[in-house]
Amino acid sequence: MKLVNRVGLYFIGLFIITIGINLSIISGLGISPVSAFTLPLSEAVNISLGTITIVTYVIFVLIQILVLKKNFKKKNLLQAPFSFAFGFFVDFTGQMLSGLNPQTYTSQFILMILGIICAFGATIYIIMDIVPNAPEGLNLALSERLNMPFSKIKIICDCLFVLIGVIISLIFLGGVTAIREGTLISALLTGKLIGLFTKWFEPGLKKIAFNDNDEKQLLLNEAM
């Protein structure tokens, strides 16, 4: 039962994250670095954001395999099927929230803040500690391969995602609209919010998802 709770909470976390992604998109005030790459790409090729997310995340998994080679843990292949679930959630929550149409900057700002608060979803799936999502997995793989701190790799990758998004937007969409003040605010607040949420909710979430006598054991923690 604890394992079922753990996997269920993991997917709930992913679902909440996708709500945050779509709230940020609807706000029109800027989106996260990864979405700043996938959103203009989806618009350029006229494919749903969820589908583009799935394709992109699976490519990230393949890059991890190429980067780590024999050091790639087979359990991280789970990132691929979880990416399909994540992409489905992206499109589903996009449809679910499609009725929102902010008309003022204040309403846009409120939606943006609510989207950032949805970082609570990231807190949940991180605490469940099953597998990282594909972008995080890519950052971890590059950090291990290049022997560089994860934080530096993440900054480099985020900047690269934004740059690619800008290039795609300028070439195919005629201008950049997805990268605004919300992108910076999200970058500054998300990590801090995850830290606070972890402090507040980790004990309760672990009590629900882990056996009392084996709380620290990771799901599929052995190298397969």
Q: What DSSP string describes 106-125?
A: HHHHHHHHHHHHTTHHHHHH
Residue pLDDT, tens place only, 121-176: 988 988 888 888 899 899 889 999 999 888 788 888 888 988 998 999 999 998 88
* pLDDT score at 20: 94
Say if residues 76 and 69 touch (Cβ distance below 8 Å).
no
* pLDDT score at 71: 92
Residue pLDDT, tens place only, 185-224: 887 888 788 888 888 998 888 888 887 654 445 444 544 4
* pLDDT score at 220: 44
| Residue 36 maps to a domain | yes
- Say how many domains are in the chain: 1
| Residue 220 maps to a domain | no
Range of the domain at 108: 2-208
Give me the DSSP letters along 57-106.
Answer: HHHHHHHHHHHHGGG--GGGGGHHHHHHHHHHHHHHHHHHTTT----SHH
| Residue 125 maps to a domain | yes
Question: What pTM was computed for the model?
Answer: 0.86
User: Nearest-CA neighbor of 12 among 134, 126, 136, 110?
Assistant: 126
- Say which residue, 64 or 122, is predicted with more confidence: 64
* pLDDT score at 214: 46
| Residue 131 maps to a domain | yes
* pLDDT score at 212: 60
| Residue 222 maps to a domain | no
| Residue 111 maps to a domain | yes
- Please, what is the Cα angle at 37 between 36 and 40, to 5 degrees? 85
Residue pLDDT, tens place only, 35-44: 888 999 999 9
- Please, what is the Cα angle at 40 between 35 and 41, to 5 degrees? 95
| Residue 109 maps to a domain | yes
Residue pLDDT, tens place only, 77-135: 999 999 999 999 999 999 999 999 999 999 999 999 999 999 899 889 888 888 888 99
| Residue 221 maps to a domain | no
